[in-house]
Amino acid sequence: MENKKITFDPDELQLTKKDLIDFLGRCIDEWRHNVRGNFKFIVAGELMRAQVRVTPEYVLKEVWSKIIKWFYDLNWENAKQDKTDSFMKLMREMDKKKNDQ
């Protein structure tokens, strides 16, 4: 079996500036189905899209890579709040023990 070096890191942003702008555009288009109810989201999305347009790509890659990593951490912390899941209860107990040391 040939030993191949893995060069793709899913924790690093692989998307381009255009990909981010297109993604935000799709979100805004979806919110426009209910302009009155989603007005604040539409404005925020347009501001984000404008900011992405004027930000250099290397800065976007750094910032969005960090957001992706923080999202995983936040998602994990959120999952641990499930009081009905025995595994999450165990994880909370282990965290508490670790923090008490």
In a domain, 44, yes or no: yes
Domain range holding 31? 13-55
Instruction: Say yes or no: 38 and 64 in one domain.
Output: no
pLDDT at 13 > cutoff 70: no
Instruction: Say yes or no: 76 and 88 in one domain.
Output: yes
Instruction: Say yes or no: 97 and 62 in one domain.
Output: yes
Instruction: For residue range 47-96, list pLDDT tens digits in order.
Output: 999 999 999 999 988 888 888 889 888 888 888 888 888 888 888 888 88
Number of domains present in the structure of the chain: 2
Instruction: Say yes or no: 38 and 73 in one domain.
Output: no
60 Cβ contact list (under 8 Å, min separation 6): 13, 17, 20, 52
In a domain, 30, yes or no: yes
Instruction: For residue range 35-52, list pLDDT tens digits in order.
Output: 999 999 999 999 999 999
Determine the Cα–Cα distance for residues 65 and 10; give it in Å rounded to an integer.
Answer: 9
Instruction: Say yes or no: 41 and 25 in one domain.
Output: yes
